[in-house]
Amino acid sequence: MINIDGKEVSSREICEKGVFLDLEHYVYKKPIGVVVFGACIFDKNINELQFLQYMMENRGEKQIVLSQAEEYLRYMYECKGKRYIITFSGNNDFLVLKHLSENEMFDFNVVNRLKHVDIQKEYEKFEKKIIGLKKLEEIMNIQRESEVLNGAKIARTFGKIFSKENYRMANEKRDKLLLYNQQDVLSLYYIMEKWKSMFLNKEEIIESKE
């Protein structure tokens, strides 16, 4: 069980009513924009994961990606009944979106309506230590196909997208970035799916002590 605003919520409910989110964004002194918006949901009506990505390939698409992301989150809440947004150390993502909302480029209310579940923080509650996503994937036997990307190189590429009017990312580099983002998003779902089995014994011990 995961405590959300004083209410115990099962990992199964979070999987069924959650939007799993990961952003690739660019910050230079202040948040500049979102390059990749990646999200997935579980649709229990068809028993299937549905994954989606929006990506800006040049600086003229900055507002398009934000508008698509905003509309997606609104639709998930209003039409799909989603009530949670799941991230891994997602505060930075939210800070970027909140800053952009102050410039009227994004409506942050679509995020605020969803209860935030930060998997890194939830893990820390049980184990009393911080863990990275890749390490948690190892613990939960989640295999990823994508290679680990260099953060500094990604930042330089994003800087070119925003500073050069006609810059376009090479296809190979674009595909690697999209796959990396996809793996991050899907891992969040698989971690939450395995959450109960991972912490079941520990929860029982805690409950017995109480």
Mean pLDDT on 149-169: 81
**Read out DSSP for 139-208?**
HTT----SPPPPHHHHHHHHHHHHH-TT----HHHHHHHHHHHHHHHHHHHHHHHHHHHHHHHHHHHHHH
Query: Residue 152's domain spans which residues?
Result: 2-209
Q: Which helix (H) or strand (E) holds 75?
A: helix 62-78
Please tell me the predicted confidence (pLDDT) of residue 209: 40
Q: What CATH number does the domain containing 147 carry? A: 3.30.420.10
- Per-residue pLDDT reduced to its tens digit, 82-141: 999 999 998 889 999 999 998 888 999 999 999 999 999 999 988 889 999 989 999 899
Q: Is the pLDDT of residue 206 over 50?
A: no
Q: What is the DSSP letter of 21?
A: E
Rounded-to-integer distance, Cα 86 and Cα 95, Å: 15
pLDDT at position 205 is 38
Q: Which residues contact 189 (CB under 8 A, 6 or more apart)?
A: 15, 18, 20, 40, 42, 49, 86
- Distance (Å, rounded) from C-alpha 14 to C-alpha 32? 31
Which pair of tokens denotes residue 131? Answer: 């863990």
Percent of the chain whose predicted confidence (pLDDT) is above 90: 54
pLDDT (tens digit, 9 = 90+) per residue, 20-43? 999 999 888 888 899 999 999 999
Percent of the chain beyond pLDDT 70? 92
Of 117, 54, 48, nearest to 83 (Cα)? 117
CA atoms within 13 A on the CB side of 110: 20
The CA distance from 183 to 172, in Å, is 17
How many domains is the chain partitioned into structurally?
Answer: 1
For the cut 70, the answer to whether the pLDDT of residue 202 exceeds it is no
Mean pLDDT of all residues belonging to the chain: 88
Task: Look at residue 207 in the predicted model and tell me its pLDDT.
Answer: 43
Question: How many CA atoms within 13 Å lie on the side-chain side of 89?
Answer: 9
* Residue 147 predicted with pLDDT over 70: no
The confidence score (pLDDT) of residue 146 equals 63
**What per-residue confidence (pLDDT) applies to 169?**
83
For residue 65, what pLDDT band results from cuts at 50, 70 and 90? very high
- Between residues 208 and 174, which one has the greater pLDDT? 174
